[in-house]
Structure 1
Amino acid sequence: MTLLLRSWDMLRDGTYTTTLSGKSTVSVRVVLKRGWRLDVYLHVGDDHRPAVTHFVSLGKQRVTVVDIFGNAPGSPWHRAGLSALAVNTAIQFLKVLYPPSTPIRGHIVGARDAQRQEERRAFWRSFGFDITAPDRRSDEHLRGTVESVRLLPGLVFGEHPRILDITTFTQVEESKASP
């Protein structure tokens, strides 16, 4: 059984999918477990392994951005728009699940060089996050609220929108959803 997500109030735990077709196919899979996690998996073409994954930890009164994988320099997905699509999708789900004042926190994993670290800061700032000054261990952190973060327009692979209408996602029956 699949369910087309037609309204925001129907959002419940489970796996949600949509596919963007064109010269390149991008499949978006979101796994939602309230109070625990929101995972966004982006698959390109027929590859069963996700090209980019974005993990968010869901608390009762706080959200924590855990990490994004698959988009590092040297990867075929670096600067393709996939990471922005993953973050935009997560933000849209968060705006449905949480009150506007809910804090969002995260840790920017330190890069080996200053330029790469500045690129990471710029990426997260483009969504409206504030970045803390380095602490005594030289770590930097994301700070924002559900209300203050914003979606980043643009295209994935120059053809697909980075902002999707999540009400058109299909909820997949749990027995057919992979972890």
Structure 2
Amino acid sequence: MQRLSVFMLLAGLTFLHGCTVYGIYKDQRLVDTITDDKTLSAGIKSELLKENFTGGWSVAVYSYYGNVFLIGEASQNVQNKALAIARRHKPRSVTPHWFAPAKSDVSDIVLATSLRKELIQTGGLSSTRIDTEVNAGRVVLLGVVGDDDEKRLAVRTAREVNGVTSVTNYLMLPSTQKRTTE
């Protein structure tokens, strides 16, 4: 029984490791850069959630090459707090994208699922590098893509999804900055 448990644990870890390697392999950023970006966005999100306001849940936080993106539908008070918190973490830049309240005929979950499906099925796109936020038909694309052609293809694909009313593009190209060691 103990051998079976160890085998199952090792098999599970191998599977998870394979998923991680695939995700990192498809990402244009260096592993250290990915780690720094994940740490930065997690730190900001964690601090947002520690605040005594429920609006922290309504703000998505992304980071690419130290550039932070705050996306969501939030009150002015939450927006101001989110910006202040993000800036305290000293990112290269902070780009807020606040949605005005709106209604849509298609639910955000259904639209996000349709969008993800189309991104996955579109040849020439590495959909694992593209993050999406959907709010009442409005789509925000974020991530690091290989080149301008892939960026244009992602935007065109998103615009063609039934129910999408607008697409905002924050897709970035791989950074050519050299890594420095301290």
Structure-1-length-normalised TM-score:
0.27
More strand as a share of residues: 1
Greater fraction helix:
2
Question: Which has the bigger relative contact order, CA under 8 A and spacing at least 6?
Answer: 1
**Rg bigger for which structure?**
2
With structure 2 as the length reference, what TM-score do the two structures score?
0.27
